[in-house]
């Protein structure tokens, strides 16, 4: 558990520098240059992420059940994950109305993803992981709303449709194939032919 917590706290702590110490962050970028800052930030993020995932895998070998979610929450959670992935895709597709309207769809997507997983899993390791990400996303969203907002380009119906369809397709592919392969849990049991 200790390696999981070090990875989790390191990863989220690193991603909280902009929230809790924006002036320090800007001073470091000015002193070392943006490329060096991004390089060090990326390397540390990857290291903490790998440690978090490895520690999470260790915790899954000795699971502790806190509560058993009812099946209805699994269906609600799966729908919320689809919405979360549409929001995350909206952060990257240009000129979509979702990003223009919400301003920070990535953070809202992480918040929705974490909340959905808390509804679907009552295991201690899951509750720690997704609870921490939900808490981080709440604080990060509040911080992002205080920062100057990027001027959104003109949004188009076509790009908004592309965003929604891409998010839904990605959610379907991830649920049917990638989640089981990468995470070891199959949210959708597809019959094999």
Of 115, 105, 128, the C-alpha closest to 80 is 115
Domain parsing of the chain, residue ranges? 1-62, 63-193
Q: How confident is the model at residue 186 (pLDDT cuts 50, 70, 90)?
A: confident
Beta strands in 40-192 (DSSP E): none
pLDDT in tens, 59-113: 999 999 999 999 999 999 999 999 999 999 999 999 999 999 988 899 999 999 9
Q: Which of 37, 16, 15 is nearest to 27 (CA)?
A: 37
Q: Is residue 121 within 8 Å of 142, Cβ to Cβ?
A: no
Torsion of CA 162, 42, 7, 81, to 10 degrees: 0
**Phi, psi of 65, rounded to the nearest 5 degrees:** -85, 125
Identify any residues that bridge with 65 across adjacent strands, giving them in sequence order. Answer: 123
pLDDT score recorded for residue 183: 81
Does residue 184 have a pLDDT over 80? no
pLDDT tens digits for range 31-46:
999 999 999 999 999 9
């Amino acid at each position: 558990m200790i390696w999981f917590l070090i990875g989790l706290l390191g990863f989220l702590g690193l991603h909280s520098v902009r929230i809790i110490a924006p002036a320090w962050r800007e001073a470091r970028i000015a002193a070392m240059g943006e490329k060096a800052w991004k390089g060090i930030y990326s390397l540390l993020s990857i290291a903490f992420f790998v440690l978090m995932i490895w520690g999470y895998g260790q915790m899954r070998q000795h699971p502790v059940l806190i509560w058993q979610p009812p099946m209805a929450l699994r269906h609600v959670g799966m729908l919320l994950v689809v919405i979360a992935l549409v929001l995350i895709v909206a952060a990257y597709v240009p000129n979509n109305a979702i990003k223009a309207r919400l301003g920070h769809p990535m953070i809202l997507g992480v918040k929705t993803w974490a909340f959905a997983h808390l509804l679907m899993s009552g295991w201690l390791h899951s509750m720690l992981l997704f609870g921490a990400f939900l808490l981080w996303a709440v604080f990060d969203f509040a911080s992002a709303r205080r920062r100057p907002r990027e001027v959104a380009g003109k949004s188009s119906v076509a790009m908004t449709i592309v965003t929604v369809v891409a998010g839904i397709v990605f959610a379907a592919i991830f649920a049917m194939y990638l989640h089981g392969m990468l995470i070891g849990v199959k949210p959708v049991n597809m019959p094999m032919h």
